[in-house]
Structure 1
Amino acid sequence: MSQDPINKDDSSIVDDKAPLWIYVKKIEKLAGGGSWRFECNFCNNSYVGSHTRVMTHLLQEGIKGIKGIKGCLKVTPQQRTNMKNLVKECKERIKRAAPKAIPLPSSSRKSSSSSLDYDMSYKDFNPSESDPKKRKGMGLVDKAFQIEAREQCDGEIARMFYTGGLSFNLARNPHYRTSYVRASKLPGYVPPGYNSLRTTLLQK
């Protein structure tokens, strides 16, 4: 693969999430998303798009139905194999680096319980069941379910701290508790994602 026309500058460091950028020259960053105007190092043709289009052009996969992009005819079969192997290696590195689920057996569980024991079964938990009026007629089974659901929820929160490298001091932040109290009163609430946290919400 050393004979392939890859970029030689500092930007040629392989990005595991978008490894084939090293085979094209980025000309101009377009507003919004991850699209660039780029020039292929093999055929010197220019296109506009994200890493997905770079892959489409170089690997000639999924071209049918995609407008504004053509497969590169200058890439040899061996070079294409090298690229596919690179993409595969990067995906495997990402997979290996992904945080592993940490089993957190509760006091009511055996210490040998696996992380699978802490599944999302508590999705079926109905917040309205915490209503004191509805708790009066609650049986032993219902109470046991509530205890288990709480323990599973605590386990998920703890796992977030451990796998995300969060400081335990965050638990002392008043917004930490307030956010969960508010969320518990909104059935079906889904917390903001990566993009919202770094853009829209950050600007407020």
Structure 2
Amino acid sequence: MAAEENRNAAVRPTSGVDDKPLWSHVTVLSVAAGGGGNRTWTCNYCSKKVVGSYSKVKAHLLKLPNHGVAPCKSVSRDMLQQIKEEHDEVERKKSQEAYQDKQKADYLSLPDGSDLQQHKKRKGKEVGPLEKSFNISQREKTDKQCARMFFASGLPFNFAKSPFFIDYSRTLANSSLSGYTPPTYNRIRTTLLGQEKEHVYRKLHPIRDSWMKKGVSIVSDGWSDRQRRPLINLMAASAGGAMFLKSVDASGIIKDGEYVSNVFEEALHGFF
């Protein structure tokens, strides 16, 4: 009898259920003969003995009601949160993998110029729960609208890598701003431009403060813009960091020592 109990002690679930993370929080004593989901297990925290499938393990540890098993009284609030995060993370990965597999299966055979919705309509299929849960159709529509904005406005494709564009898109996706509309042309070039200028000025204030304590050097370089205008850029270099001061259009001007000296002097008077 003792030998039989030792053979059944700490039996791990068979293949096909090991991807369920909460089995690690219980000790499986025996597995039903002939397969099936039921097994005898004890909770590692309260030592409660239960006969049931993984759904009862989850209900017991996560304290879910109406599952035919009492919640674990030894699991604290912090421990409950950790167990829930462990369970949710595995479920999230499984859903993501299922979504990616489904997406590959739907798109590999699609002809050029077709999208998922058209493909399913031609085959007479209805949009399934997986597509609905991930809003695939709406995602495709939004992606096309974003791409059309780039194409029609002549935006460089590198703009898609801009952290500000990414932050703006994520804010829209994760917020509850019902009825939100982007700022107008006039608001961007007036009110918002002024607010951003003040924001940048405040960010640069610590660098400006360091000038009086540790000194500063005014440096410049010359270059031509797309209209081939000769420009002189002025920057302040200090221990606090580099800071752009101004850009001067030197078109039609002889850039001799006297002129450059006057440019530097004006910059000094403007910022000190």
Rg larger for: 2
| Bigger RCO of structures 1 and 2 (CA < 8 A, at least 6 apart) | 1
Decide which structure has greater strand share: 2
TM-score of the two chains, using structure 1 as the length reference? 0.46
TM-score of the two chains, using structure 2 as the length reference? 0.35
